[in-house]
Amino acid sequence: ETGVTQSPTHLIKTRGQQVTLRCSSQSGHNTVSWYQQALGQGPQFIFQYYREEENGRGNFPPRFSGLQFPNYSSELNVNALELDDSALYLCASSPYAGVNTGELFFGEGSRLTVL
């Protein structure tokens, strides 16, 4: 069983640029959540996708957007990058019922540095 995979693992961008991060969910999982984790902090909920529809969003501006594809893989797009966007971006998948157990399966994350 393949776990959650994310790409790229590390990337460096400059202010104002755009970035796309990718996530392949675990086999059989149809729900994907994205989190932002700043150094020394807990993961902050960005949004969640279920069957290709966004069904929940945290306190992030519209320049954070996403997609979920028919195979349940997902993308996180961030436009007009700011220095504060530097963080580890975590993707987590679950079978929808998995949300009812509080268990998410996380990928290793994409480390974004904005200069």
d(CA 74, CA 67): 5
Q: Which stretch binds another protein (CB under 8 A): 19-27, 65-73, 74-82, 99-107?
A: 99-107
Stretch that binds another protein, among 15-23, 40-48, 61-69, 70-78 (CB under 8 A): 40-48
- Taking CB under 8 A as the criterion, the residue among 17, 103, 113, 115 binding another protein is 103
9 binds another protein (CB under 8 A): no
Contact partners, residue 96, CB within 8 Å, separation at least 6: 30, 31, 50
SS3 call for 39:
coil
Task: Using the minimum distance from each CB to another protein, give the nearer residue, 82 or 103.
Answer: 103
d(CA 44, CA 28): 25
Half-sphere exposure of 38 (CA within 13 A, CB side): 7
Q: Which residues bind another protein (CB under 8 A)?
A: 4, 33, 35, 40-45, 48, 55-56, 58, 90, 92, 99-109
